[in-house]
Structure 1
Amino acid sequence: MSPALSNMTIARLAEAGGVGVETVRYYQRRGLLPTPPRPDGSGSGGGVRRYGAEDARRLRFIRSAQAAGFTLEQISELLALDAGEDRGRALALAQARLGELDARIAELEAARAALRRLAGACAGGGKGPCPIIAAFEA
Structure 2
Amino acid sequence: MHISIGELSKRSQVKVPTIRYYEQIGLLPSAPRTDGGQRRYAQTEVDRLNFIRHARELGFEVDDIRALLNMTSTPQASCHQADSIARNHLAEVERRISSLMALKSELQRMIAECGNGRVCDCQIIEALADHSQCHTAHTH
Q: Same fold (TM over 0.5)?
A: yes
Matches within 5 A, 1:49-60: 49-60=39-50
Tell me, which stretches of 5 or more residues in structure 2 are unaligned?
A: 131-140
How many corresponding residue pairs? 128
* Cα offset, 1:74, TM superposition: 1.1
Cα deviation digits, residues 6-47 of structure 1 (max 9, x gap): 2210111112222221211110011111122224x3xxxx55
Partners of 1:136 and 1:51 in 2: how far apart? Answer: 52
> Counterpart in 1 of 2:125?
133
Partners of 1:91 and 1:55 in 2: how far apart? Answer: 24
2:53 to 39, 44, 63: 63
Q: TM-score, normalization: structure 2? A: 0.82
> Counterpart in 2 of 1:8?
3
RMSD (Å), alpha carbons? 2.0
> Counterpart in 2 of 1:33?
28
Tell me, which stretches of 5 or more residues in structure 1 are unaligned?
A: 1-5
Cα deviation digits, residues 62-103 of structure 1 (max 9, x gap): 111111111111111110012223410000000000000000
CA contact (8 A) 2:114 2:123 kept: yes
Q: TM-score, normalization: structure 1? A: 0.83
2:83 to 91, 107, 128: 91
Counterpart code for 1:37: P
Identity of aligned residues (%): 36
